[in-house]
């Protein structure tokens, strides 16, 4: 504090009469006549009004906006107070002003306090100016506070924070690696870790009981609203001698207080979170990321619509979503249906039971052919709107899920927005048929323990059960329709691991080649262990109530994985390439 006596957010009426020294950015200057000017000085902590008179007006007039300055003066009570400003009861009458760092441009790329209205490319290019906006800065402060709270909570639960390597080996973990050439080993590459998955499991085999870290992860994948390209951070954790229940108990204790304290909404689900099997989630909510703030669900009405005469429904899976007490106009309904069709890629249909009990609108003429069956199946009441999704099972489910989210958010009374609603998605399939290969593949994490262990895998090998029926001890944590994390009870037994991989046509040699350290470590007596890794970026995005994850990252990349501020990725010199034994081809 040697360069200032107070911050720009600190002074109050009780400080009137004090001589003070403030430092900060010159945010704005408003002249009144030629001998009076009102100056706003801003620092990290807030703003203070400085009232310049006579000769001091000229001193401030020569300073460009956003220059950093030091102002020495006396605090006095304001005659016209500003109750919206923390320092609104006082102002500073300056004796001197010194420019500490001049802004050498008269024109700024955007107004600092309105930077969020600017084009995103400009905001990213001039991110250091964007971050001067208190509304932008508060998200970064929130992120710091949330990370500190998570660290404290994990430490209180007996977890040790252990950092794992950034330079490691490439491994098949679902996304593209970022590769780093090894100068001392021509032709060889390190990879940046997609996650500390193998290292944290190796820590369990090393005898550490509870591990966590705020882990940086690197994946060469495309951006989305809730996913940043390049790097992201997660609350990575693992527990030895632990089951799924142990992992759930920790997170159900750690997360709700953090969300209730720092979130935009002060309500968060308490323990235990609702648990929904994966297949049930698809059937009931049309998604494995349900937003439980919405009270709408989907119901299978395939049998009820048999013989309705509408070709788009006959012979297909039919899902219905009932929106009770819906009084929206036809125009509004069809606009929302069109929005849902764009997202799902499948055309939805609708009808309504009006206030008189008549089936009207949309495909009502076909519904009347099977009215009794449909009304009975859905328990329809007057003013119920029925949304219909039809097609192959997965497409019908996806459309139903989109309809639930679209209409749940738009129709009054069906979404309790002011809360954080958590749930666990459990019992994921161990295997699936690959879209491209047409053969059996791992559905999610190949390191998950299959439910039933080795015996289940042997039954599948003998043809006694369908491999697609095998479930894994894997789970996702979902909040407000956003997947925060995936986790699993790990497959720590080499024999079970080999058998699990053999079902997808990979033998023991393949496992040893792809995961040598982990396989060998497990052969030396590995404890049962389980873990999870909630995404810090997504958590903070939810807490801040932001739609884009870039709003809570200090220096985010754009959608094309470019840092337009630092001009990365960029070209390097021929000398650098030669040192790395790399030749760039067109």
Q: Considering the domain 13-101 in this protein, what is its CATH number?
A: 2.40.50.140
Instruction: Compute and round to an integer the Cα radius of gyration of the chain.
Output: 30
Give pLDDT tens digits along the chain (586 positions): 568 999 999 999 999 999 999 999 999 999 998 899 999 999 999 999 999 999 999 999 999 999 999 999 999 999 999 999 999 999 999 999 999 999 999 999 999 999 999 999 999 999 999 999 999 999 999 999 999 999 999 999 999 999 999 999 987 666 889 999 999 999 999 999 999 999 999 999 999 999 999 999 999 988 776 777 889 999 999 999 999 999 999 999 999 999 999 999 989 999 999 999 999 999 999 999 999 999 999 999 999 999 999 999 989 999 999 999 998 999 999 999 999 999 999 999 999 999 999 999 999 999 999 999 999 999 999 999 999 999 999 999 999 999 999 999 999 999 999 999 999 999 999 999 988 888 999 988 888 999 999 999 999 999 999 999 999 999 999 999 999 999 999 999 999 999 999 999 988 898 888 888 889 999 999 999 999 999 999 999 999 999 899 999 999 999 889 999 999 999 999 999 999 999 998 7
Give all strands (DSSP E) within 7-67, no chain letters: 19-31, 36-43, 46-53
398 backbone dihedrals φ, ψ, rounded to 5°: -60, -45
What is the rounded CA–CA span in Å between residue 524 and residue 161?
Answer: 24
Cα distance between residue 184 and residue 5, in whole Å: 53
H/E element holding 283? helix 278-285
Q: Architecture of 135-270+532-579 per CATH? A: 2-Layer Sandwich (3.30)
Distance, in Å, from the CA atom of 232 to the CA atom of 218, rounded to the nearest integer, reads 7
Question: Would you state the structure tokens that stand for residue 158, as one six-digit string?
Answer: 């007996």
Domain coordinates in residue numbering, the chain: 13-101, 135-270+532-579, 294-410, 422-526
What CATH number is given for 294-410 in this structure? Answer: 3.30.1360.30
**Is the fold of 13-101 the same as that of 135-270+532-579?**
no
The answer to whether the beta carbons of residues 370 and 304 sit under 8 Å apart is: yes
Q: Is the pTM of this model over 0.75?
A: yes
Give CA–CA dist 11/23, Å, rounded: 13
d(CA 252, CA 275): 12
């Amino acid at each position: 504090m040697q360069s200032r006596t107070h911050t720009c957010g600190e002074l109050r009426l009780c400080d009137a009469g004090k001589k003070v020294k403030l430092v900060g950015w010159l945010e704005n200057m408003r002249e009144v006549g030629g001998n009076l000017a009102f100056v706003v000085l801003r620092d990290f902590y807030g703003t203070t009004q400085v009232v310049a008179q006579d000769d001091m007006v000229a001193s401030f007039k020569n300073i460009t906006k956003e220059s950093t300055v030091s102002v020495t003066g006396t605090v006095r009570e304001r005659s016209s107070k500003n109750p919206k400003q923390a320092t609104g009861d006082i102002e500073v009458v300056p004796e001197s002003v010194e420019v500490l760092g001049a802004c050498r441009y008269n024109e700024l790329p955007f107004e600092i306090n309105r930077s969020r209205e600017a084009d995103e490319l400009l905001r990213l290019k001039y991110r250091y100016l964007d971050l001067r906006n208190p509304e932008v800065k508060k998200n970064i402060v929130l992120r710091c506070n949330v990370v500190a709270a998570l660290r404290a909570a994990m430490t209180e639960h007996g977890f040790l924070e252990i950092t794992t390597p950034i330079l490691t080996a490439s491994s098949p973990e679902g996304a593209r690696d970022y590769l780093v050439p090894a100068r001392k080993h021509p032709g060889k590459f390190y990879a940046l870790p997609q996650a500390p998955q193998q290292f944290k499991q190796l820590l369990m085999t090393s005898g550490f009981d509870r591990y966590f870290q705020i882990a940086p992860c690197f994946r060469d994948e495309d951006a989305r609203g809730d996913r940043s390209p390049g790097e992201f951070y997660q609350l990575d954790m693992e527990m030895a001698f632990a089951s799924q229940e142990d992992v759930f108990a920790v997170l159900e204790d750690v997360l709700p207080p953090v969300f209730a304290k720092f979130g935009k909404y002060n309500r968060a689900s308490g323990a235990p979170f609702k648990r929904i099997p994966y297949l049930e989630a698809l059937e009931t909510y049309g998604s494995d990321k349900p937003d439980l703030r919405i009270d709408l669900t989907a119901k299978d009405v395939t049998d009820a619509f048999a013989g309705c005469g509408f070709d788009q429904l006959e012979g297909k899976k039919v899902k219905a979503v009932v929106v009770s007490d819906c009084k929206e106009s036809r125009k509004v309904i069809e606009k929302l249906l069109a929005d849902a069709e764009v997202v799902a890629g499948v055309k939805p249909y609708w009808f309504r039971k009006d206030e008189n009990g008549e089936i009207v609108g949309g495909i009502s003429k076909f519904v009347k052919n099977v009215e009794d069956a449909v009304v009975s199946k859905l328990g329809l009441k007057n003013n119920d709107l029925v949304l219909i999704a039809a097609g192959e099972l997965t497409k019908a489910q996806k459309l139903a899920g989109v309809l639930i989210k679209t209409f749940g958010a738009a129709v009054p009374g069906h979404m309790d927005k002011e809360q954080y609603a958590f749930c666990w998605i459990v019992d994921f399939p161990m295997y699936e048929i690959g879209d491209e290969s047409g053969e059996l593949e791992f559905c999610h994490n190949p390191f998950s323990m299959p439910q039933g262990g080795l015996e289940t895998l042997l039954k599948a090998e003998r043809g006694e059960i369908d491999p697609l029926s095998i479930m894994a001890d894997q789970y996702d944590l979902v909040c407000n329709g956003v997947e925060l994390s995936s986790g699993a009870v790990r497959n720590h037994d080499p024999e079970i691991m080999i058998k699990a991989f053999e079902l997808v046509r990979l033998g023991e040699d393949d496992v040893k080649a792809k995961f040598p350290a982990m396989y060998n470590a497990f052969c030396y007596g590995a404890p049962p262990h389980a873990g999870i890794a909630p995404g810090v970026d997504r958590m903070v995005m939810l807490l801040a109530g932001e739609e884009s994850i870039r709003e809570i990252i200090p220096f985010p990349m754009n959608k094309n994985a470019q840092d337009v501020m630092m001009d990365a990725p960029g070209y390097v010199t021929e000398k650098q390439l030669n040192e790395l034994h790399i030749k760039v081809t067109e």
